[in-house]
A = this chain, B = another copy of it.
Amino acid sequence: MAIAAKTVTDICAEAKAASRELALLDTATKNRGVLAIADAIEASAAQIITANERDLEAGREAGLEAALMDRLKLDETRLAGIAADTRKVAELEDPAGRVIREFEMYNGLKVRKVAVPLGVIAVVYEARPNVTIDAAALCLKSGNAIVLRGSSVAANSNAVLAQVARDAIAAAGLPEAAVSIVTGGDRDELAELATQEGVIDLIIPRGGEGLKHALKSVATVPVIYAAAGNCHVFVDAGADLDMAEAIAINSKTQRPGVCNATETLLVHKDVANEFMPRILKAMDDKGVRLHGDARTQSLSGAGGPEVLEATERDWTDEYLDMVLAVKVVDSLDEAIEHINRYGTGHSEVIVTPSEQSAEVFTGSVDAAAVYVNAASRFTDGAEYGYGAEIGISTQKLHARGPIALRELCSYKYIVRGEGQVRG
């Protein structure tokens, strides 16, 4: 059944009802639903591509930039990739039903703290239509119903993808309202979604600061922001400079447009004279534009790359681009202070041979992931072996780091007795 004519409130209510059914399904049944989606994506490739072409055509007319057009595009190969990723979700461990703690009370009551689906999860996302299926598969696998709200730019693609998923789920005997989509693009609809208290259990926005602020001002349901990453690499005194260079270059340049890419390099003064000229040159060779403090500028040396004067904004901004802020610090403590002041609590790196520095850094830096002698780019559900993820959380409550299957669950205490009452 088509869902376009329903209100957001109707759609959410149906999702809630479906979530009650989903919570009771066993792993095999949920996997059957996930695999049915994968098969249907492949079987409906022509229909999906036709819808996608309408979005691409509208995008061309609207003059969307090339990178956005590329993210929007679906073809046979990409659909096969989406189907393959979906099948991988079926292979992951079912997070629901996991016994987190189990104990017997003094009076013989048997207590199990058991992971349970959150219920209904809303995912708000931008132009990439593959998120429609990735997020739906993760929610279904974890026993949650999902309400999707994509970008209007991908409206045709998303509507068909969601409908294909719904039909596949229904044919597999699962409630079709496990996957729903809110198709419009206006902000009123977002506000309606974000205020479904008692119905939507969690809303996860995947997008920029504009979306974040739009949600912050209206949301009354719980939100986890798949957030920005202003990540740092700190090269400590005594660091192996070959290792430091490899880590800094990889953290900055391997994929500069993602949240776990590094934005600022901090260099201990004891190694700055030796390290700074070579790392600035290496970054410049890779095409990285440099913004540095006065000491960094002076260390670029004659014939070295240009280093623009860094301003306060260079310490706060997430460039998501081939730009790096660079600063000399006098001590480990200054590095930690800088990171805790300007960082977004995402992924932070120390390159050091000192166990003591590593202990102080990992203990003091307030971030989702803290790395000793490794690149910042590893903060990722797939890299951690958790499978796919909906995003990376930089908040401290509930989920910090990858938001993967386990993070889509709450828990409940199930307590069994034989008539115990409280004395």
Contact = CB atoms under 8 A, between A and B. Distances in A.
Interface of A: 20, 23-24, 103, 105-106, 109, 111, 113, 118-119, 201-202, 216, 220, 222, 224, 240, 243, 246-247, 249-251, 254-255, 340, 358, 360, 362-364, 366-375, 377-379, 383-385, 395-398, 400-401, 410-422
Contacts of A224: 397
A216 B220 contact: yes
Given A363-B24, A385-B105, A400-B412, A372 B419 contact: no
B384 A111 contact: yes
Nearest to A21: B364
A222 to B, nearest CB: 5
B374 A420 contact: yes
Given A20-B340, A222-B397, A397-B398, A378 B414 contact: no
Main SS class of interface, A: mixed
Copies per complex?
Answer: 2
A367 B411 CA distance: 9
Given A362-B414, A398-B397, A415-B370, A375 B23 contact: no
A387 to B, nearest CB: 13
A421 B370 contact: no
A364 B254 contact: no
Contacts of A419: 240, 243, 246-247, 373-374
A227 to B, nearest CB: 13
A121 to B, nearest CB: 11
Residue from A379, A416, A417 with most neighbouring chain B CB atoms (10 Å): A417
Contacts of A255: 422
B395 A222 contact: yes
A194 to B, nearest CB: 14
Given A118-B396, A251-B421, A373-B417, 19 more contacts: A103-B384, A106-B385, A119-B396, A222-B396, A246-B419, A254-B422, A362-B414, A367-B412, A369-B413, A369-B415, A371-B417, A372-B414, A373-B420, A374-B415, A374-B418, A383-B422, A397-B397, A400-B410, A400-B412
